[in-house]
């Protein structure tokens, strides 16, 4: 078993998409021997070019690994990777640290941690914030749930891919904080979109307006990262609308279970659902501004 705080030799990384691929590459370059797996095999190409290994199955990647990392889209995918035939629970050795970077429902994370613990696995839920840019630059904010000793064992990996790493509580707590994060980001994006359309209606110098707003109390990381998307209506996905909508669903379910009233949460969830119904699911979540444009009768380039 890897000692807490030590650097493991071999690391399996399952899920080499927009976020997972740069994270795996950072880990390879930091000295870990990374074995990557993705259902679309060609997505391992960048990791292989960085010196890692592409694997043909989860079992091939996981067998003998000191640490297993997951970055897959949804709760069902995490369950499949962990519990399915040839999955992590079946192939990982007792004592293996399993870090789930995916954003999933808190109750699923708690259940999987309990199942993993019964098999001797050290489960840590560690969803991230920062989007593709944060993954590429290794500046992610990581909210971590799990047993303190397991979190410390995972910390060298977490601090390789993230800039802000905070243990927020027991298993599932990382996912709970991520749900709150997604509420805040969605609400911020929506109100920024409305502000941009308002400023445009008055013919204000938009670059200058966003610069001064960003320097005051209205400033935010969302404004810093998404101002170009909003101003230029450019929506190459750094964080896809469909995944953010999925996360808001997890937030809504958790809020309902706790008896928490969330008026803005309900509103932004419906606005994002509307965007998806209009075909914007594969666009960056900054495409919420397209919904504001629609409500104001503005023609959209792809409509």
**Tens digits of residue pLDDT in 74-108:** 999 999 999 999 999 999 999 999 999 999 999 99
Of the given ranges (75-84, 143-152, 157-166, 232-241), which has the lowest mean pLDDT?
A: 232-241
User: Which among 43, 53, 178, 226 is annotated as catalytic?
Assistant: 178
Residue 133 CB coordination number (10 Å): 13
pLDDT on residue 239: 87
> Both ends of the chain: CA-CA distance in Å?
56
| Residue in 214, 250, 234, 221 with CA at minimum distance from that of residue 284 | 234
Each residue's pLDDT tens digit, 263-300 = 999 999 999 999 999 999 999 999 999 999 999 999 89
Residue 287 CB coordination number (10 Å): 27
For the chain, give the mean pLDDT: 94
Contact 129, 143 (CB under 8 A): yes
Of the given ranges (4-18, 204-218, 252-266), which has the lowest mean pLDDT?
A: 4-18
pLDDT on residue 4: 45
Contact 280, 287 (CB under 8 A): yes
Query: What average pLDDT score do residues 245-254 get?
Result: 94
pLDDT on residue 238: 80
Query: What average pLDDT score do residues 39-48 get?
Result: 95
| pLDDT band of 302, cuts 50, 70, 90 | low
Residue 5 CB coordination number (10 Å): 11
pLDDT on residue 8: 53
> Is the confidence at residue 5, as pLDDT, over 90?
no
> Is the confidence at residue 60, as pLDDT, over 60?
yes
How many Cα atoms sit within 13 Å of 62 on the Cβ side? 27
| pLDDT band of 301, cuts 50, 70, 90 | confident
Of the given ranges (6-20, 132-146, 164-178, 212-226), which has the lowest mean pLDDT?
A: 6-20
- Per 3-state DSSP, the chain is made up of helix, strand and coil in percentages (nearest 5) of 55, 15, 30
> Is the confidence at residue 1, as pLDDT, over 70?
no
Measured CA to CA, the distance from residue 247 to residue 93 in angstroms comes to: 31
> Quick check: helix, strand or coil at residue 34?
strand
**68 strand-pairing partners:** 12, 98
| pLDDT band of 2, cuts 50, 70, 90 | very low
148-152 long-range contacts, CB within 8 A, separation 24+: 149/4, 149/122, 150/97, 150/122, 150/123, 150/124, 151/124, 152/4, 152/5
pLDDT above 70 as % of the chain:
97
Query: What average pLDDT score do residues 57-86 get?
Result: 96
> Is the confidence at residue 184, as pLDDT, over 80?
yes
Residue 4 CB coordination number (10 Å): 16
**Active-site annotation holds for 53:** no
- How far are the Cα atoms of 41, 59, 266, 269 from residue 47, in angstroms, in the given order? 11, 18, 39, 35
Measured CA to CA, the distance from residue 5 to residue 149 in angstroms comes to: 9
| pLDDT band of 12, cuts 50, 70, 90 | very high
């Amino acid at each position: 078993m890897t000692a807490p705080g030590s650097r493991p030799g071999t690391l399996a990384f399952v899920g080499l998409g927009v976020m997972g691929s740069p994270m795996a590459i950072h880990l390879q370059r930091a000295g870990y021997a990374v074995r990557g797996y993705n259902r679309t095999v060609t997505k391992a190409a960048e990791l292989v070019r960085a010196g890692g290994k592409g694997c043909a199955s989860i079992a091939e990647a996981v067998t003998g690994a000191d640490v297993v990392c997951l970055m897959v889209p949804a709760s069902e995918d995490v369950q499949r990777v962990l519990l399915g035939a040839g999955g992590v629970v079946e192939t990982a050795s007792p004592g293996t640290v399993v870090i789930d970077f995916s954003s999933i429902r808190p109750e699923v994370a708690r259940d999987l941690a309990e199942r993993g613990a019964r098999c001797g696995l050290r489960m840590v839920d560690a969803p991230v914030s920062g989007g593709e840019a944060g993954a590429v630059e290794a500046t992610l904010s990581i909210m971590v749930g799990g047993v303190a000793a397991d979190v410390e064992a995972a910390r060298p990996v977490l601090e390789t891919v993230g800039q802000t790493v905070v243990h927020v509580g027991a298993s599932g707590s990382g996912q709970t904080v991520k749900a709150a994060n997604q509420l805040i980001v969605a609400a911020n994006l929506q109100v920024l979109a409305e502000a941009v359309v308002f400023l445009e209606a008055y013919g204000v110098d938009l670059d200058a307006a966003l610069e001064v707003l960003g320097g005051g109390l209205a400033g935010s990381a969302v404004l810093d990262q998404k101002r170009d998307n909003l101003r230029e209506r450019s929506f190459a996905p750094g964080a896809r609308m469909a995944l953010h909508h999925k996360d808001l669903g997890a937030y809504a379910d958790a809020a309902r279970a706790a008896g928490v009233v969330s008026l803005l949460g309900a509103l932004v969830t419906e606005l994002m659902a509307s965007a998806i119904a209009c075909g914007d699911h594969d666009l960056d979540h900054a495409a919420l501004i397209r919904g504001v444009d629609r409500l104001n009768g503005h023609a959209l380039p792809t409509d």
